[in-house]
Structures are given as C-alpha cells and as structure tokens.
Amino acid sequence: MNSKIGYVDSFSKFAKEFNPDYDKYVKLQEMGVCVFITCRDDKKLIGYAVFSIMSHIRYQSCNLAMEDLYYIVPEYRGKGLGKQLFIESESILKSR
C-alpha cells in the first residue's frame, strides 16, 4: 500500500455527487492533517481510504484519526481487502 496522494480516477465518475476539492485535499495532506492510503493490485488502484488527523481535545499528547471515506472497486470486494486496508491504515496512522 502507498500513502502518497495522486489523482484518483475513480473519483471522477462521482464528481457530481461528491464534488471534491482536490487542491484542498493536497494542501491538507501537505499540512499533515489528511492521510491518503491506497490499495493496489500491482500498479492498478483498487481501493483507498482517507483520514483526517487532529489533536485529541482531552489528551493533548494524542492524535485522532477520523475516516473521511474509503472505497474498494466492486470486483475486488468480498476478498478481505477492505479489512486489510483498515488494518494497514491503522498501522500507518499509529506510526505517524
């Protein structure tokens, strides 16, 4: 899995529904408050998860990650990849 952001082609077919601000996502990632984690079959993008990162209100020494969105391509669903994506995401987020 790769945590670098790139243009996600699968967003484009939903752009009218979601209407994401790609520039804002990139800026938030550069600021370290947004993390993109991708799932790939070789180089083919088959899923992703996006998390917002913030300081915890009550525990200042802890950060909090909130899942913003996730997606697995339909033909790859039912194979445990979503679960694997979240397990890997948790590991990546804890290491930050």
77: Cβ contacts below 8 Å, ≥ 6 apart: none
Residue 10 phi, psi dihedral angles, 5° rounding: -65, -20
> Integer distance in angstroms from the first to the last C-alpha of the chain?
16
- Is 38 in contact with 45 (CB distance < 8 Å)? yes
Residue 55 phi, psi dihedral angles, 5° rounding: -70, 140
- Is 88 in contact with 1 (CB distance < 8 Å)? yes
CA distances from 67 to 40, 41, 43, 44, 86 (A): 19, 22, 24, 23, 10
pLDDT of 20 over the 70 cut: yes
Q: Which pTM value belongs to this model? A: 0.73
Model confidence pLDDT, tens digit, residues 37-70: 999 999 999 999 999 999 888 998 888 999 999 9
Rounded distance, CA 51 to CA 69, Å?
A: 7
